[in-house]
Structure 1
């Protein structure tokens, strides 16, 4: 039996004598075993390991006993030396190594803290910005971390954070490196509890304040300093060429007083990090904006042409800074700057002319420079082996030109802030379509591959009918059937069938006939293998377009939600922003009055963008100023469902998608009409569907009639639309198009809600973007589990083990597991049903990602057929499970029974452990939050 006589004395490093504590030795040895065997700190040791610990401890006690001297005592270092020797004597060499590392780390922390150690004065110095060096003071670290944890002391272990930071300190460390070490220490623990997110965001705010305000103010002085420095920010920004000189014309004092710096506390850490890295303006690397300066700068930039500038800027600031509405990234980047390119999307049609082809490539570069996302329609370009009259030669088709587009997008990134991004569209009857499907493959002739460009199929309804009929499909060269490009619906079907008869009669020689089902199967196969081309539908996009009287929709945009007419002299432009639906759930219900107020202001902001905007090309200016389209969307749909207690996979969620979109549509169309009363209708309004009394809900019947195929969608609504119809009849519309749901990946991150209309990806996962990799845990889930007394370290471990999903965690109630389904657990039919109900009310489209946990040809066929059948205009990414799952290196996986594959791959003789899944569940068409993916930014 182990025991230490009461009179045993230990001599500490500072010369003090204290009683010998055997439990401290036991804890250190046990921790060394845990570290080596990858066992969580809170997990009990199994019997064999516990026996090893006990054996080592007994030997240590036996060895220490004869060394004890009543007067001098035995030194701490001597005891630790004995522990090391006993571990090695028993063959635990790797555990001994862990123990040696443990000793070294603690020795370092003692030196950093400046603890009194005989003959070992502290030597760690901190390098200041001017190059001078001062002694490191650990008390300042503790003070800063304690202030950041204020109010959360019951959850946040400040001592642990301090120790973590001290382990990162080295001689000569800079102030900024100390701040970063503090943030990383808190950030790595966010998975434990959302309280650590609060701590991390407070630490991040301090960094921002230090740069932008010159000091880190306390709560009492923040408001005063914030107001005082605002004018200096404006002046400094204008002087450095980062802000427009027009901002100086505002009543700066009035705007400074209107800001609420306490709203910075609304940001989650990831949102603050995102705006710090990419949105806050900087001069020579120093951020000159606080988060509230950022919101006010955007508000001022959008209000520049308003008569009552200050009042409108404050109004815009209010909905931005309260996270009720957020403008799209280009507006956030560039509003209030000397080059206010605020528009999100540019769509162009390429003519079958060499000069125009390279003009579009040049236009792409100019548009991309200022953060515009691009969509190009390439259907006009003649096919491979078609005749070139001017040279009497044969064409190489569209593929070589797409390679040029791809390389130009890589060469000209979006203002140095994110990769240039373009999507090329091709209609399904184009003779080069089969090679178009191969563009993203990693095999084949690399000169005919576009690894960095997105692609999308632009599919007429007739093709979908032929697939269902198991009939043939004919491919043509556009120069021989040039009018097909501008036809849709019944006119397209009639003309296409006429061209097929002409091939039978020998009047058209360059064509190819293939089974439609085979081509469809190839489309789905390539979509699964490479993530491209996306599936989008030509006929519903045109038949339901409000602007059918002045042109044709030839493609969508980069993210498949924008559907606007394009031609050689018009590059379509769309200006985007999104309502945070979650912010409008009040007391368990959708607050319609609040939503109306938000939408009305948001539509005004989007309309203002058109007049303030910097247009890189005349074709873009011509189109935008003539038609004035905007795209109001939404985000936080999943968060709204959580607040309402609804599962995404439910009829109630479908009904909520229907009702919430109807409300947004109602208020947005009314707002645009009221703007028309104030400012005048857009130029091409006469003859539009609006002018003909047709609202989006009315055009579903037109699509059904054109297809001659039923569209099984409930057409009912909750609102009396007669006031909207009356207003449009009286005043017209200010905007040709008003509604479009964009992906919102980065702006959702900024305000801390779920992306767009997306279901929850997982409840615990690593999110990667251009700011780095961040572990995310579902706050609504944690809050619910806490309410039920279920959130603890063991639950976190189970969530990690099951890759952020709940279905196999038995102690979570079934009702909760059903409510908190993840994206791959929600059947695609629910996502499509929700999208179809929204599409009733939207004049453009939606960026609709679809998820399959176990993809198969049949499932993909059924999914996309259902999307077409229910009248969707477009779909976006096909998401499948990625190869890398949740990090499990901190888990004691033996607690969960069967070992996962990563544990089975561990070599007993190797120092390397494989901590992540190494085999994909399915080929990843697009891994979520790919930092190079436009949709994820």
Structure 2
């Protein structure tokens, strides 16, 4: 079309009625105001910003974004927008109403008049693409017979059931996904509808109909999430007064509006920090990518909706991409170029390449930004200190912090109390109070209070400590809700190996053992043993080390507690050993930081999504570098932005600035390489992937030090001495003895170059790596947890958001390729509880690749962890899976963990407490969680008498505070 022809078309259009109605009759505004009729018939104010955005996109599609081009584009966009406005003002000086197509035609005309022919073409193509999207979004007719019923809207009014609207929602949800059927979902859903059904129940019926099909085809998880999105959009957009409902394509337009309305509403309701309004909200709103809503699985989206989205009176008015932008803004508030940084952070989070920890997701951008994950405290041996620590625990737990308490300084049962001339009740009664505090003060009403108590193995109360989680005995000396862990020195493990005795002391008489490690601990401990032998110690008890070790393993097997963690590995490999002592780990055993009466250690966590960094079956190191560099900046920002409810925590965090970069989806990454977990290839990948993450995390921290300065306690640290995590193995070996350690020392990257950089620029953070369990954030991103092997290939996951059928999509793809995925296979998987081992028609190589957690030999789990540990300056949450567990297996596995240089272990998974219901898929119902447990293997005599074993903590037990 020529310019002259377009001119005539425009002149004619300005006089013609729109939709059969003269434009003059639609002038519902004050004089001089122009309104726009949208394609759906709504009349809205004219917004010049929309013209600017559309024209800018057309220019950017044709030109680079350098400074000169940006200046020209800005100038031309302003000119063209002004010309368009002037034309309509001249035609309608008293105001009037235009159709949106008329405005877009005029934009095309002005581009051509300005001789921007290439850009005009881009704009025309853009309009055609949007028209095609609208065609897809148009209500789609279906041949399915709909019942003649009414639907009750929120205001109580009733309207006939619009089956085509439902068909449109389901068809959009299925778009682009293989092996899913929209009609089957509609047919199943209609069976559950009745006359007068509420809109909410009608949408829930769609969700339920889709989710029951997940076991047949994993892609139905995405379908279910997309149907749920329709409900979420309606809830949020209605509350924000944007629209009653919206399709996915329309969210490209609605997200920027909803984002600005959300910020204003959140500040008005005193839920968001008013500083968020100081951002350029237009720029941030336009950076939102609505298509990223389609990445969610059902479990991921439902988890966000139930537990993460900000709500008011049970109405969630936060949408997924707004949620990620809110978190990103909260982490960028103190950046100089905060809009650009917020967009950078948003892109990283919303792409699922990296995910911040739960407290950061909960609280970033809010009035109380408590963003840190873990707090470690040492409990002093006096009443003021003990109950002061209880108060600190309550305050930290209130704002979603997980707690690790070191109780070793508290004197033992029967110790002399000078002030009252009485005797102490020991540490156990105080642990009971701490347990009840964790129950009473949950984490902001969002998850249960979570706490772990640590006690050193030489403490005289250690035997009572081992019994804390038993279901028998005096309930006043039991802690049924609190996690417990042994803090084991190397000397004890050596005594077990050598068959020697072990002596227990009260901290009141041997207080310095608490702060000693390695050879210094051994020397002083032997001095106390000599004093005890001479009768110069009032309280002590000598027992065979193996007997205590047996009881430790027996209680771990029976109750799941106490976990076994290694004091000297944590301390002798700590970068901060020049300035303090690590007295415990945290709630999930991955944090190893110094604590004292004056310092509560704090750590901020986040995890790299490993499968997102795989390219053609190998790790994309350049992408890892980009992700880790941005992620570490986000973690470092947490330290300064964080809300500290306890001053000692703030002082410690600002002094040392520790962070914990971890990973998740390790098992998925193995599937992408066709590498079984129980293979040398998996061990090598554990080594390689952690080395790369470690290298670039240290590099990123050093870069931040160059920009922002080193952390205050840097001088004297192992970093400052050029001793990196792998090098610290030598320190451990020197203190422990070479015969008691076996760790691979190989490396592939240029570590000398990085050491030279750190020597020059320093480090911003005392600690940079720790692998957390990622139980919930891996649900959000739809990958396997942390470094865990696959639990089962088909099972029902039960957590605080409900029950979800989980089927291994990697397995389904493999079996489809072999033409083995059918109803019979699904039923077989259910019957054999997600295991392939008994299904004869599956090839052996596939069985090995998809071995479940209890089919993986513990040696592979331990060796993979050992390879990672050499690169990590903190620790890793390492669950140990032992099928058909017995005393000998436990003994060998935990001694292997010590020999392999591990710092900590986490849960012992010895039996499966969650199983899939053995039913046929034709029932069409979601599998229920069965509490069926396997027969309990007996503990051999050499490790204690056989005992009944309650169910171990399930991976997905909604009452398991550590897993949430």
Shift of 1:608: 0.3
Between the aligned partners of 2:196 and 2:249, the Cα distance in structure 1 is 33
Other-structure match for 2:959: 932
Shift of 1:543: 0.3
Q: Note the alpha carbon deviations across 1:815-866, whole angstroms, 9 max, x for none.
A: 1111111110100000000000000000000000000110100000000000
1:171-190, aligned counterparts within 5 Å? 171-190=195-214
Other-structure match for 1:656: 685
Q: Is the 1:334–1:340 Cα contact (8 Å) retained in structure 2?
A: yes
Residue 844 (str. 1) matches residue 874 (str. 2): yes
Between the aligned partners of 1:568 and 1:499, the Cα distance in structure 2 is 24
Other-structure match for 1:622: 651
Q: How many residues align?
A: 799
2:501 to 451, 468, 472: 472
Q: Is the 1:744–1:935 Cα contact (8 Å) retained in structure 2?
A: no
Between the aligned partners of 2:400 and 2:492, the Cα distance in structure 1 is 35
SS state at 1:773 partner: strand
Shift of 1:268: 0.9
Question: Which range moves more in the overlay, 250-259 or 709-718?
Answer: 709-718
1:513 to 532, 538, 542: 542
Shift of 1:204: 1.1
Other-structure match for 1:195: 219
Between the aligned partners of 2:482 and 2:750, the Cα distance in structure 1 is 45
Q: Is the 2:911–2:933 Cα contact (8 Å) retained in structure 1?
A: no
SS state at 1:790 partner: coil
Question: Which range moves more in the overlay, 215-224 or 785-794?
Answer: 215-224
Q: Note the alpha carbon deviations across 1:328-386, whole angstroms, 9 max, x for none.
A: 00000000000000000000000001001001100000000000000000000000000
Residue 156 (str. 1) matches residue 172 (str. 2): no
Q: Is the 1:691–1:732 Cα contact (8 Å) retained in structure 2?
A: yes
Between the aligned partners of 2:583 and 2:930, the Cα distance in structure 1 is 44
Shift of 1:725: 0.6
SS state at 1:416 partner: coil
Q: Is the 2:798–2:929 Cα contact (8 Å) retained in structure 1?
A: no
Compared with structure 1, are the counterparts of its residues 749 and 891 closer, same or farther at alpha carbon in structure 2 (3 Å cutoff)?
closer
Between the aligned partners of 1:526 and 1:645, the Cα distance in structure 2 is 38
1:762-781, aligned counterparts within 5 Å? 762-781=792-811
Shift of 1:884: 4.3
Q: Note the alpha carbon deviations across 1:81-135, whole angstroms, 9 max, x for none.
A: xxxxxxxxxxxxxxxxxxxxxxxxxxxxxxx9665xxxxxx5x543321223344
Q: Is the 1:295–1:320 Cα contact (8 Å) retained in structure 2?
A: yes
Other-structure match for 2:828: 798
Other-structure match for 2:24: none
Compared with structure 1, are the counterparts of its residues 642 and 914 closer, same or farther at alpha carbon in structure 2 (3 Å cutoff)?
closer
Between the aligned partners of 1:188 and 1:639, the Cα distance in structure 2 is 24
Between the aligned partners of 2:602 and 2:306, the Cα distance in structure 1 is 27
Residue 341 (str. 1) matches residue 365 (str. 2): no
1:571-590, aligned counterparts within 5 Å? 571-590=600-619
Question: Which range moves more in the overlay, 717-726 or 344-353?
Answer: 717-726
Q: Is the 1:801–1:888 Cα contact (8 Å) retained in structure 2?
A: yes
Between the aligned partners of 1:151 and 1:495, the Cα distance in structure 2 is 68
Residue 603 (str. 1) matches residue 628 (str. 2): no
Shift of 1:138: 4.7
Other-structure match for 1:561: 590
Residue 876 (str. 1) matches residue 916 (str. 2): no
Q: Is the 2:230–2:247 Cα contact (8 Å) retained in structure 1?
A: no
Residue 414 (str. 1) matches residue 438 (str. 2): no
Other-structure match for 2:934: 920
Shift of 1:140: 4.1
Other-structure match for 1:62: none
Q: Is the 1:213–1:226 Cα contact (8 Å) retained in structure 2?
A: no
Q: Is the 1:113–1:137 Cα contact (8 Å) retained in structure 2?
A: no
Shift of 1:669: 0.5
Shift of 1:136: 4.1
Compared with structure 1, are the counterparts of its residues 389 and 876 closer, same or farther at alpha carbon in structure 2 (3 Å cutoff)?
same
Other-structure match for 1:144: 169
Compared with structure 1, are the counterparts of its residues 378 and 831 closer, same or farther at alpha carbon in structure 2 (3 Å cutoff)?
same
Other-structure match for 2:917: 887
SS state at 2:335 partner: coil
Q: Note the alpha carbon deviations across 1:638-686, whole angstroms, 9 max, x for none.
A: 0110111101111111111111101111000011011011000001111
TM-score by length of 1: 0.83
Other-structure match for 1:210: 234
SS state at 2:191 partner: helix
Other-structure match for 2:328: 299
Q: Is the 2:915–2:929 Cα contact (8 Å) retained in structure 1?
A: no
Between the aligned partners of 1:860 and 1:524, the Cα distance in structure 2 is 7
Between the aligned partners of 1:219 and 1:183, the Cα distance in structure 2 is 16
Shift of 1:295: 0.7
Question: Which range moves more in the overlay, 601-610 or 178-187?
Answer: 178-187
Residue 233 (str. 1) matches residue 262 (str. 2): yes
Shift of 1:799: 1.2
Between the aligned partners of 1:157 and 1:600, the Cα distance in structure 2 is 42
Q: Is the 1:631–1:741 Cα contact (8 Å) retained in structure 2?
A: yes
Other-structure match for 2:788: 758
Between the aligned partners of 1:484 and 1:347, the Cα distance in structure 2 is 19
Other-structure match for 1:720: 750
Q: Name structure 2 gaps, 5 residues minimum.
A: 1-143, 239-243, 937-948
Between the aligned partners of 2:805 and 2:622, the Cα distance in structure 1 is 36
Shift of 1:160: 3.5
Q: Is the 1:325–1:579 Cα contact (8 Å) retained in structure 2?
A: yes
Between the aligned partners of 2:956 and 2:928, the Cα distance in structure 1 is 23
Shift of 1:881: 2.3
Shift of 1:813: 1.3
Other-structure match for 1:682: 711
Between the aligned partners of 1:269 and 1:917, the Cα distance in structure 2 is 24
Q: Note the alpha carbon deviations across 1:278-302, whole angstroms, 9 max, x for none.
A: 1111122221211111111111100
Shift of 1:209: 1.1
Q: Name structure 1 gaps, 5 residues minimum.
A: 1-111, 116-121, 894-912
Q: Is the 1:125–1:135 Cα contact (8 Å) retained in structure 2?
A: yes
Between the aligned partners of 2:176 and 2:420, the Cα distance in structure 1 is 78
Q: Over aligned residue pairs, what C-alpha RMSD do you find? A: 1.8
SS state at 1:418 partner: coil
Other-structure match for 2:851: 821
2:388 to 349, 359, 364: 359
SS state at 2:663 partner: strand
1:356-435, aligned counterparts within 5 Å? 356-435=385-464
Q: Is the 2:796–2:929 Cα contact (8 Å) retained in structure 1?
A: no
Shift of 1:163: 3.6
Between the aligned partners of 1:318 and 1:919, the Cα distance in structure 2 is 43
Between the aligned partners of 2:282 and 2:866, the Cα distance in structure 1 is 48
Other-structure match for 1:784: 814
Compared with structure 1, are the counterparts of its residues 573 and 510 closer, same or farther at alpha carbon in structure 2 (3 Å cutoff)?
same
Shift of 1:594: 0.5
Between the aligned partners of 1:599 and 1:150, the Cα distance in structure 2 is 33
Between the aligned partners of 1:670 and 1:786, the Cα distance in structure 2 is 43
Q: Is the 1:527–1:925 Cα contact (8 Å) retained in structure 2?
A: no
Q: Note the alpha carbon deviations across 1:165-224, whole angstroms, 9 max, x for none.
A: 233334443211111111011111101002311210110111111122234333442211
